[in-house]
Amino acid sequence: MSFAFTSFVLSVIVSSTPLLLAATGELVAERSGVLNLGVEGMMLIGAVSGFAVMVVTGSPVLAVLAAAVGGMVMALIFAVVSLGFLASQVPTGLALTIFGTGLSALVGSGYVGVAVPRLPKLHVPGLSDIPFVGPVVFGQDALVYLSFAAVVGVWFFLNRSRAGLILRAVGDSHDAAHAIGYPVVRIRYLATLFGGAMAGLGGAYMSLAYNSSWAENMTAGRGWIALALVVFATWRPFWLVVGAYLFGAIMYFSLYVQGVGIPVPSPFVSMLPYLATVLVLVLISRDKTRIRLNAPACLGRPFHAAG
Amino acid sequence: MTMDRRTFNKLLGAGAFAGAAPALIGRAAAAGPVKAAWIYVGPVGDYGYSYQHDQGRKLVEEKLGDKVKTSFVENVPEGADTERVLVELANKGNDIIFATSFGFMNPTVAAAKRFPNVKFEHATGYKRAKNLATYNIRFYEGRFVQGVIAGHLSKSGIIGYVGAVPIPEVIMGVNAFLLGARSVNPKIRSKFILINTWYDPGKEGDAAKAMIDQGADVITQHTDSPAAMQAAANRGVKAFGQATDMIKFAPKDQLTASVDNWGPYYVDRVRMVIDGTWKSTDVWGGFKAKMLEMAPFRNMPDDVAKAAQQTVDDIASGKILPFKGPLKDQSGKERVAAGSSLPDDKIASMDWLVEGVEGKLPS
C-alpha cells in the first residue's frame, strides 16, 4: 500500500513539473506586463531542441541548456514583434503557439522514434533508500529540483529585491516607470526571455523525463494550462506550486480512476483537466478584489515611449 | 516563395475540378508501370503503425521492381482533408490507392465513388464497393499470445492494457489479452485504461503508470507511441511493443511485440492490378496468413518463450481459437456456448468485455 502511494506521488510529481516550470516563467513575464500566449509553442520548441541535442551529444546538461535557449529564441521572436514593433500581444502570442507547433514538428520529424536515456535521477546513498521520503525528496531529476528552486527564486526576486520591485513597477504602470527613468522595454524583453527559457525547460521535461522521446505536439495543451495557472495563482509564485500540483494530480487521477474500474467515458477524461481549468478560473474571477490587487495593471498593454 | 491567388486556388480546387471529370482520368494506358499510392495517418518515421505500412510499400517496390511506381503521403489528417489528398493522388494517375487508417473510411468511400476506374483499399474498415476493398490484421491473435506470456510472468495476478478508444478493435484486444492470460492462470485479472487518443505519449505513459500503481505487473498497449512501454520499463515492469519491434526503447523490458506485416498483402494486391485480376475483397489475416508476426521473445524464461511460440503455431493451425466457448461477459451472461467459437462478424463488432476484465466500457 505504501509502495503504491509512493509511486502515486511520484507520478503526480512527473505530471506537475512541466506545468510548474512553464507557469513560473510566464508569471515573471506577466508581472512585467507582457501577456505571452505562446507558452505552448515555446514548450514544444524547448522539447524538440532539448531532445535533438540529447540525441546528438548524449549530454543531459547540454540538452537542458539547449531547451532553455530554444524557448528563449521563440520568446525573442515574440518580444521583437510585440515589444519592438508594438504588435498586439494576444494575436502575436497565439501565432507563436501555432508557429512553434509547426516548426517543432518540422525540426523533430527526424527524431520521431529515436530512443534516448531518461534524465538521470539523483541518488544519495542511504537517503534515497528511506521509504517514501527517499524517492520523493532525494530521488528526483535536476529539473524537478529546479522547478522548486525557480519558484523560491522568483518569489525572492519579485518581493524582496529591488530589481523585482522595478519589474513589478513596469508591469503595473509602464508610464510611471518610464518617467522615473527605467528602461521599460528592456526589462520586458528580459522578463519575456526568462519566460521563454522556463517554458523551454518545461518542454524539455516532457521530452527528456516525462517520456524520453519526441512526438509531434507532445505537450498536448499543457502550455495553456500553465497560462491558466498564472491566473489561478493570482500572480503569486507559491500559489503556482499549489495550482501545478493540483492540476498534475487531476491529470493523473483522471486516468487512475479508470484503472480502478470506474467507468468514465474516455473523452470526459481528456476533458477533465481543461474543465477544471475553466471552473477554477471562474471561481477565482468571482473575487474581483484579489485579482485587481495582484494583476499587473498594464498586462498586455503595448508601451509607447513617446506617450 | 510567392504564391498568387491563382496558384492557391488551383491547389485548393484541384480536387473538385478534376472530380467533375473523372472520365478523363482513369488508367491512361496499359503500358508503363502501375502506379500505387499509400496514405498514412502518422509520420512514416513513427516506428509504429504508419512505419509498418511503409515497410509494406517498400516490399512492393522490392518485389515488383520497375513494374510498379509507388508514392505515399504521410501525416494525412482524418477528416475533410483526407478526400482532397485521395483525389489528388487519383488525379496523378495512380491505379491503386491504399488508405491505411480506420478514420479514412468515409473519405475513401467518397473518393472511390468519384473515381470508378481507380482501385481503393481501406485498412481496418468495413465499407466496400466495386472498386473499394478492405483489409485488416487479426491483431487479437497477437494479444492472445501476449496474454499467455503475461499469464506466465505476472506475480501480482493483475495485468494492464492501455487502449485508445472503445471500438471493437480495442475491445477484442482487451478480451483476447485476458483470455490468453487465463488460459495459463485462471485467476488472473486485467485492468484497462482508455486515453481517448492514439497518439499522446504523455497520457500513454501516465495510463501505464496508473495501472502499475494499482498493482499491474505486465503492461500491454494499444496506442501508437512506445511511451506506455517506456513508462513501464522505467518502473522495472515488463511490457509489450505495438505494431513494430520496439526493443530499442526498452531493451530489458520488452517481452515481444505484435508486428504488423502488411507487405505480402500489398505485393499480392498490386500484382493483381498489374495482371488485371484485382477484385474488391475483404481480407482479415493473422498468423496463418503471416500478416501478423511476433517480435523475438526476449526477457523471459525459455519455457515461457516456448509456450508463446507454441501458442502462435496453434493459432496459425487453428488448434487454438482465441474466442472459443464457453465465454461469459462481465454480467455473467453466456456469449459463446461451450464447443463453439465466436464467428468473425461477431468478433469484428465486439462491444462487450469478458468476465474477469476489471472496469466497464463507457456507455
Specify the pLDDT at position B10: 47
Out of B43, B202, B212, whose CB is closest to A112? B43
Q: What whole-number distance in Å separates Cα of residue B230 and Cα of residue B144?
A: 22
- Higher-confidence residue of B299 and A287: namely B299
The secondary structure of chain B in percent helix, strand, coil, rounded to multiples of 5, reads 40, 20, 35
| Consecutive H or E run containing B17 | helix B5-19
Specify the pLDDT at position B107: 95
Q: What whole-number distance in Å separates Cα of residue A84 and Cα of residue A63?
A: 30
Min distance B46 CA to chain A CA atoms (Å): 5
User: What is the phi/psi pair of residue A82, to 5°?
Assistant: -90, -30
Question: Cβ contact (<8 Å) for A255 and B206?
Answer: yes
Question: Cβ contact (<8 Å) for B192 and A258?
Answer: yes
**CA-atom Rg of chain A in angstroms:** 19
Report which of B267, B230, B349, B311 is spatially closest to residue B67, judged by C-alpha positions.
Answer: B267
Specify the pLDDT at position B2: 46
pLDDT tens string A198-214:
999 999 999 999 888 88
Q: What whole-number distance in Å separates Cα of residue B199 and Cα of residue B135?
A: 23
Minimum Cα–Cα distance from A222: chain B residue: B202
The answer to whether ipTM exceeds 0.85 is no
Pairing of strands B34-39, B96-99: parallel
Minimum Cα–Cα distance from B167: chain A residue: A266
Report which of B164, B310, B313, B309 is spatially closest to residue B242, judged by C-alpha positions.
Answer: B164
Give the residue-averaged pLDDT of A72-95. Answer: 96
| Most B CBs within 10 Å, among A6, A212, A270, A272, to test the B interface | A212
Q: What is the mean pLDDT of chain A?
A: 90
User: What is the phi/psi pair of residue B267, to 5°?
Assistant: -60, -45
Distances (CA, A) of A33 to A207, B11, B343, B361: 30, 43, 66, 48
Query: What secondary structure letter does DSSP report for B55?
Result: H
Q: What whole-number distance in Å separates Cα of residue B193 and Cα of residue B210?
A: 9
Give the residue-averaged pLDDT of A175-203. Answer: 96
- For residue A295, pLDDT over 90 is answered with no
Return the SS3 of B341: strand
Specify the pLDDT at position B207: 93
pTM, rounded to two decimals: 0.81
B214 residue type, one letter? Q
Out of B191, B194, B226, whose CB is closest to A266? B194
Question: Cβ contact (<8 Å) for A261 and B358?
Answer: yes
pLDDT confidence bin for A221, thresholds 50/70/90: confident
Question: Cβ contact (<8 Å) for A263 and B362?
Answer: yes
Report which of A25, A82, A1 is spatially closest to residue A240, judged by C-alpha positions.
Answer: A25
User: What is the phi/psi pair of residue B284, to 5°?
Assistant: -130, 95
pLDDT confidence bin for A2, thresholds 50/70/90: low
Question: Cβ contact (<8 Å) for A112 and B203?
Answer: no
Collect all residues of chain A within an 8 Å Cβ-Cβ radius of residue B231.
211
Min distance A1 CA to chain B CA atoms (Å): 9
Specify the pLDDT at position A3: 64
Pairing of strands B327-328, B292-294: unpaired
SS3 per residue for B119-154: EEEEECCCCCECCEEEEEECHHHHHHHHHHHHHHHC
- Mean pLDDT in runs of 10 for chain B (363 residues)? 46 44 43 90 80 95 95 89 94 96 93 96 93 96 97 96 89 96 95 86 89 94 89 93 90 95 96 95 94 96 97 96 92 91 91 89 74
Give the residue-averaged pLDDT of A138-160. Answer: 95
**CA-atom Rg of chain B in angstroms:** 22
- For residue A1, pLDDT over 60 is answered with no
Specify the pLDDT at position A194: 98
Out of B166, B205, B211, whose CB is closest to A259? B211
Give the residue-averaged pLDDT of A152-177. Answer: 95
SS3 per residue for chain A: CHHHHHHHHHHHHHHHHHHHHHHHHHHHHHHCCCCCCCHHHHHHHHHHHHHHHHHHHCCHHHHHHHHHHHHHHHHHHHHHHHHHCCCCHHHHHHHHHHHHHHHHHHHHHHHECCCCCCCCECCCCCHHHCCCHHHHHHCCEHHHHHHHHHHHHHHHHHHHCHHHHHHHHHHHCHHHHHHHCCCHHHHHHHHHHHHHHHHHHHHHHHHHHHCCCECCCCCCCHHHHHHHHHHHCCCCHHHHHHHHHHHHHHHHHHHHHHHHCCCCCHHHHHHHHHHHHHHHHHHHHHCHHHHHHHCCCCCCCCCCCCC
Bridge partners of residue B258, in order along the sequence: B242, B294
Out of A11, A115, A216, whose CB is closest to B209? A11
Collect all residues of chain A within an 8 Å Cβ-Cβ radius of residue B359.
258-263
Question: Cβ contact (<8 Å) for B359 and A262?
Answer: yes
Cell numbers given for A186? 528592456
Place of cell 518569489: A155
Give the residue-averaged pLDDT of A96-106. Answer: 95
Q: What whole-number distance in Å separates Cα of residue B286 and Cα of residue B153?
A: 25
Place of cell 521572436: A77
Cell numbers given for A218? 507532445
Burial-class residue A297 by CB neighbours within 10 Å (0-12, 13-18, 19+): exposed
Q: What whole-number distance in Å separates Cα of residue B18 and Cα of residue B113?
A: 13
pLDDT tens string A37-70:
999 999 999 999 999 999 999 999 999 999 999 9
A–B interface: beta-carbon pairs under 8 A: 125
User: What is the phi/psi pair of residue A9, to 5°?
Assistant: -60, -40
